[in-house]
Amino acid sequence: MRRLKTTVAIAAVAAMAVVGCSSPSTSTNEPGGGQGNIPGQEKTVDPDAKGPAPEVQGAKKGGTLTVYSQSTPNTMDPTDIYYVDSNEISKLMIRTPTQLAIRNGKAVLVPDLTDLGTQSADGLSWTFKTKGTFKYDDGSEVKIDDFAYAIKRSFAHDVFANGPTYQMQYFKDGDKYKGPYTGGLDYAGVETQGTDTLIIHLAKPFVDLPFYMTFPMFGPIPQAKDTKDNYKNKWLSTGPYMLDSYTPGTQLKLKKNPNWDANTDPVRHQYVDAWDFKWGVDDVANQKQVLASVGADATSLNYGDIDASLVPDLTGAKKSQLVQGDSPCTIVLQLDARKIPLEVRKAIAKAYPSDQIYTAGGLTDLTAEPASTIMPPSVAGYKKYTPHPDLTGTGKGDPEAAKKMLEAAGKLGFELSYYYDNTKPLPQQTSQIRKEALEKAGFVVKPIGVATAELRSKVGDYDAPVNMGQSPAGWCSDWPTGSSWFPVLFQTHSIADGSSWGMLSDPALDKEIDDVSKLPADQAAKKWAELDEKIMGMYIVIPRYYNKMAVVVGTGVGGAEGDGTMGMPFFLNMFVK
């Protein structure tokens, strides 16, 4: 699954465990209105989109935008980028074969450097054709081999350990090839023809590959200019902005790229003259500063979610400084189906103090919405079916009724245990609330406190002596379809991959998921929704909430909206008022 911003990940961890993200699907989202539910949406694709990108209403040219955050992107190497913050920032510089545009708040898959690709009849190869000629920021021309090289580079997982890994599962020989540094340049998975054709050969059908091609690691990189470890400090740009100066962990300055041609780009704009990213600030203090918008702060924004203590400040004119949007994530509490029988899982859901944990965890309606499904609203195929009893993400829990259920099943005193971080107040307090509520319902509860540093490995160990709360405690789409969710989370192999929800291993279910993933995207969406309801009915997770984005921008920032595929502000349409 896609990796969350570090701060978000910490919040989720704080709640109990690690949010794992790894894969696929994100779609489009609307910057929500604040109240009401997140509107779901169908996947949208626009193969005919052409540059230049439609003008943003009221947009002006010039000025510098300053962007703050407390959390720091871990890398800026396009191949190594998986976290949403660096991914969103890279869109200003790195053009990719395809791209997600935000139109009326919805993400739409559009061509970027290539078309949207054509799939072969057997589904085992995809052909992408470039649309015109493009230049790097140093004036040299983008060659078709540079695309192939970038793909080969993504297999060097020993060098770029953080990057996405779908290519290793889906691409031909993806499990064997080790990248250009140790594996040589011969790789059967990619092929180029002429000056404009890129062919990707697959080991198994990958219907959603064009969505995957929006990741910055698919942006072209010329082999001659690849500096391997050092590329993360100095990279080539194809987008409207290029590197001006970069101090890892502290500051990134971008300036206009003179070799970018607006007429070839259906997504990006070049409204502002420069971007100035500053990291490591104190989010709360900085958000106050941005809200006050005095002097230079008027043209700044902070992309950390707004701190709850600032919510009362958002009155009057300041309300418009809040930008809301979706995130591609669902956060849950796992129940290990291997160790807890179904009746007991139902009793846990009955007793679970969702509301108390929601509030005690510091969640507000700005940053979260109670969840009742597996897929969040931003994923194509999301359907808000009638929630299964007690799986609504809300409610105070009913210990008496749960106790009766336990007695009926003859499981009174069933032992539950889970890991939590006992060095921080927030997870400690929520753990205490959970423990008290479940004990009231007749369970024996054994929370195991561990230090922050150990938590990740502990909750990720499926053989550990606990039966709930394993990781991933949340999942974020890498692209907005069900294939980013079900094949990753609910098949037998998910347990070995360390990315299972509920530890399901049922050959019949495996097959059902496989069948749906082979369907074309538009037919699959409905099937994924049905599967969502079915799997939820197994009570293998207690749904907690869908993430939402809520960030503050200065009064001089125009065109600000959320990118629901990332849960980040969408930089490409922003301008200085």
**Contacts with other proteins, residue ranges (CB under 8 A):** 284, 307-313, 355-356, 358-360, 362-366, 396, 422-423, 425, 428-429, 431-433, 447-451, 454, 458
Handedness of CA 154, 155, 161, 166 (dihedral sign): positive
CA angle at 548 for the pair 70 and 337, rounded to the nearest 5°: 105
| Least spacing, CB of residue 355 vs other proteins, in Å | 7
Alpha helices in 188-338 (DSSP H): 209-212, 283-292
- CB-nearer residue toward other proteins: 353 or 482: 353
Q: Which is nearer to other proteins, 80 or 369 (CB)?
A: 369
Half-sphere exposure of 553 (CA within 13 A, CB side): 25
**Residue 568 has which token pair?**
């980040």
CB distance 139 to 259 below 8 Å = yes
Closest approach, Cβ 391 to other proteins, in A, equals: 19
CB of 229 to other proteins, least distance (A): 34
Q: Which is nearer to other proteins, 18 or 366 (CB)?
A: 366
Distance in Å, CB of 543 to other proteins, minimum: 17
Decide whether 342 or 360 has the Cβ nearer to other proteins: 360
Evaluate whether 310 touches 367 at the Cβ level (below 8 Å): no
The answer to whether 39 and 30 are in contact (CB under 8 A) is: yes
How many C-beta atoms lie closer than 10 Å to residue 37's C-beta?
Answer: 12
Beta pairing partners, 322: 552
The CB-of-135 to other proteins minimum distance in angstroms stands at 47
**Least separation in angstroms between CB 309 and other proteins:** 4
User: Residue 551 is inside which H or E element, if any?
Assistant: strand 541-553
Residue the block writes with tokens 């009793």: 347
Query: Shortest approach of other proteins to residue 105 CB, angstroms?
Result: 22
> Judged by CB, which is closer to other proteins: 451, or 496?
451
Distance of CA 385 to the CA centre of its chain: 23
Q: In angstroms, what is the minimal distance from the CB of 104 to other proteins?
A: 26
Nearest-approach distance from CB 475 to other proteins, in angstroms: 25
Element (H, E) at 201: strand 197-201
Alpha-carbon dihedral angle through residues 256, 257, 263, 264, given to the nearest 10 degrees: -140
Strand partners, 335: 468
- Show the beta-strand stretches assigned E in 303-425: 322-334, 368-370, 415-421
Nearest CB to other proteins, comparing residues 120 and 423:
423
Residue 361 vs 564, nearer CB to other proteins = 361
Q: Which is nearer to other proteins, 154 or 287 (CB)?
A: 287
| Cβ closest to other proteins, residue 27 vs residue 71 | 71
Smallest separation, CB 358 to other proteins (Å): 7
Tell me, letter by letter, the H, E, C secondary structure of 455-518. HHHHHCCCCCCCCECCCCCEEECCCCCHHHCHHHHCCHHHHHHCCCCCCCCCHHHHHHHHHHHH
- Tell me whether residue 11 or residue 252 sits nearer to other proteins (CB atom): 11
Residue 449: CB minimum distance to other proteins, A: 5
- In the complex, minimum distance from the CB of residue 100 to other proteins, in angstroms, rounded to a whole number: 30
Question: Of 468, 485, 259, nearest to 351 (Cα)?
Answer: 468
Q: Which residue bears the tokens 């189906």? A: 337
End-to-end CA distance of the chain, in Å?
36
3-state secondary structure 3-51: ECCHHHHHHHHHHCCCCCCCCCCCCCCCCCCCCCCCCCCCCEECCCCCC
Partners of residue 370 on adjacent β-strands: 545
Identify which of 436, 451, 517 has the alpha carbon closest to the alpha carbon of residue 484. 517
Please name the residues in contact with 146: beta carbons below 8 A apart, sequence gap of 6 or more.
220, 221, 222, 223
Would you say 84 or 363 has its CB closer to other proteins? 363
The residue (of 164 and 447) whose beta carbon lies closer to other proteins is 447
Question: Residue 350 is encoded by which pair of tokens?
Answer: 């009955």
Q: Select 431 or 471, whichever has its Cβ closest to other proteins.
A: 431
Query: 305 and 326 in contact (C-beta within 8 Å)?
Result: no
Residue 474 CB, shortest distance to other proteins, in Å, is: 20
